[in-house]
Amino acid sequence: MAPDLITAATNITNAQGKATKRAFVTFLAGNGDYVKGVVGLAKGLRKVKTMYPLVVAVLPDVPVEHRNILISQGCIVKEIEPVYPPENQTQFAMAYYVINYSKLRIWALEDYDKMIYLDGDIQVFQNIDHLFDLPNNYFYAVKDCFCEASWRHTKQYEIGYCQQCPDKGSKPWRYTGEEENMQREDIKMLVNKWWDVYEDESLDYKEPINANKLTSAILDASGIKFVPAPSAA
């Protein structure tokens, strides 16, 4: 019995160490309703039982009230400074997306070895922790724009919905059913699933069990004394 208990305690400690160097990350700016999306994302990740935290990179204009909401949902809030494109280059950027240059600051979050960026208006419906185990030294991404004619063979192009054109879609928390391209049953189903997660109070953040205390309790049960390692700080 004791060897199994020791193995369990070791696994807990190892998992905690791995989790501190990896994180999901998203971005938030302004005082609008986008904070709802980030809360929904945090609760969705919790529902699929991720072992990794959600870091929210916020611009200085995100109000304290919204930051406190995120912290209460277990998010790690990191303020970043805005990044603006050179003035002589802004004619090539849609005004809506100029603010997204600030996402480049995420590269400066050097507390983590690996991060997975997720937009605040998406939802996860299954655990994706395995993506952290993909080989190092690569930049992984997915295609989210299907406007160009080269994508005319895709369903996304046929529907006319595009991530790069916010006026062609609707955020789940703003959905009314009247938006263009939003009357389809699969869209309604996904919106309902988003609200199910967002409104599920059982998914609200709860203070986790301290790993050292749990490890100590497991080892004490087997008659072995637990001495935590000293801080490296």
* 102 neighbors 62 (Cβ within 8 angstroms): no
CA-CA distance, 102 to 28, in Å (whole number)? Answer: 10
Backbone torsions φ then ψ of 89, nearest 5 degrees: -115, -5
The CB-based long-range contact list for 66-69 (8 Å cut-off, 24+ gap) reads: 66/28, 66/31, 66/35, 69/35, 69/39
21 is known as an active-site residue: no
Location of structure tokens 């749990």: 214
* 169 neighbors 182 (Cβ within 8 angstroms): yes
Where do runs of H (alpha helix) occur along the chain? 2-19, 34-47, 64-72, 95-98, 155-159, 185-198, 211-221
Where do runs of H (alpha helix) occur along 20-33? none
DSSP 8-state secondary structure symbol assigned to residue 169? -
Q: Which of 103, 114, 168, 171 is catalytic?
A: 103
CA-CA distance, 181 to 140, in Å (whole number)? Answer: 29
The CB-based long-range contact list for 129-134 (8 Å cut-off, 24+ gap) reads: 129/50, 129/51, 129/52, 132/22, 132/52
Q: Which two tokens stand for residue 150?
A: 């080269």
Which residues are known catalytic residues?
Answer: 103
